[in-house]
Amino acid sequence: MLTLNRRKIMVSAVAGATGIMTGRAIAQPAGMASAQTMPTRNAAFYRFQVGDIAATVLSDGLIGGPPTVYAGNAPEAELEEVLRRAFLPTDHMTLNLNTLLLEIGDRRILLEAGAGATMGPNGGRLFDNLGALGLTPDDIDVVVISHTHPDHVGNLRAADGSRAFPNATVMAPRADWSFFVENDPDLSYMPVPQDFQQRFAANIQRSVEPYVRDIELYEGGAEILSGLTTISASGHTPGMATFLVESGSDQLLLTADLAYHPIINIDRAWRPGPDRDQDQAAAARARIFDRAAAERMLVLGFHYPFPGLGRILRTDTGYAWVPANWEF
């Protein structure tokens, strides 16, 4: 009973925030996000197991933008051809928001907070999907963020400015916190209009504000919780980390934003335009993709088509994304 009531409150709070925020404060410029709110026809959570750890992909919905943003160095005609052959639109690329809930012992850990209302009208569905599992934001003990871009931290702030996850410790990479939160970031490297850059920076500040006093900062390359290790992947942002979940002989690798969409950043080696240090990001991609391929790891991509699980295959010319079969 209590669970249901709480869920209703959260869902209406999120719906309210979406209405207000997309209408005014953070409206998207044409082309940066789909203007229409999508209907919900299917459940958007996916349960699987990593050894003894119960894992659930929880969708926060969708974001998107011009494909040229996500494949920054692609020749335009070639990019269009690749999208056409994948039966994808050539003028807009849709990206998923695959957050992951881990239940390790009696603790619930959420990897990535999701976009909420910061990147268009189709984010913020995480709370609904938590509710579908019979959980509320109160049940989350830890939220670990791979990097502080708005689509990864947007849901941290509730509509009334309070903590959306009142009982959670929030962990973020130290170098990102310094770059985006403690300083005024120069985002002129991003291939988006200047007003978008300004909203992007403001949305980061706004989203993390309820947690600034007791944020836990981590360095890439350490086991931060039992069974959860960060792997440094700097380049996309100064501090981005990817995650390795391990239990027994089972492993799951989360690639954060090493790639936006497998079609353009794995099957083709085009570089994401928003990578701040292009060469460092490409080196991190190669290093981590090589490991994933060599160890035949199960991989979860934050922005890949839901539920975002598959494996990376080494080919003669690069890599190929092989989606995992659906498990019932």
Q: Does residue 81 sit in helix, strand or coil?
A: helix
Produce one character per residue of 112-122: b if its CB has 16 or more CB atoms within 10 Å, e if not.
bbbbbbbbbbb
Footprint (CB under 5 A) of Zn ion, residues 150-179: 151
If the CB atoms of residues 176 and 257 are measured against Zn ion, the closer one turns out to be: 257
Contact status, residue 251 vs residue 50, Cβ threshold 8 Å: yes
CB of 149 to Zn ion, least distance (A): 5
Among 60, 112, 128, 257, binds Zn ion (CB under 5 A): 257
Contact by Cβ (8 Å): 257, 98: no
State which residue, 97 or 158, has the beta carbon closest to Zn ion.
97
* Residue 53 vs 176, nearer CB to Zn ion: 176
Rounded CA gap, 325 and 127, in Å? 26
- Contact between 153 and 204 (Cβ < 8 Å): yes
Site stretch for Zn ion (CB under 5 A), options 72-80, 81-89, 228-236, 254-262: 254-262
60 is an interface residue for Zn ion by CB under 5 A:
no
Run of H or E residues at 250: strand 250-254
The window from 21-29, 113-121, 192-200, 255-263 that contacts Zn ion (CB under 5 A) reads: 255-263
Shortest reach from residue 151's CB to Zn ion, in Å: 4
Alpha helical stretches, state H, 61-193: 67-70, 76-85, 126-132, 150-153, 174-176
Q: Give me 28's structure tokens.
A: 């998207």
In the complex with Zn ion, which residue's Cβ is closer, 60 or 257? 257
CB of 76 to Zn ion, least distance (A): 23
> Quick one: 129 or 247, whose CB is closer to Zn ion?
129
Residues for the chain: how many in total? 328
Beta bridge partners of 53: 50
Question: Minimal distance in Å, beta carbon 147 to Zn ion?
Answer: 8
3-state SS string for 184-239: CCCCCCCCCCHHHHHHHHHHHHHHHHHHHHHCEEECCCCEEECCEEEEECCCCCCC
Tokens of 216: 């836990």
Q: Where does this chain touch Zn ion (CB under 5 A) — which range of 3-11, 107-115, 252-260, 307-315?
A: 252-260
By beta-carbon proximity to Zn ion, the closer residue of 60 and 151 is: 151
Smallest gap from residue 301 Cβ to Zn ion (A): 10
Q: How far is the CB of 257 from Zn ion (least distance, A)?
A: 4
Nearer to Zn ion, 153 or 298 (CB): 153
Closest distance of CB 80 from Zn ion, Å: 23
Closest CA to 267 of 32, 88, 44, 115: 88
Residues that bind Zn ion (CB under 5 A): 151, 257
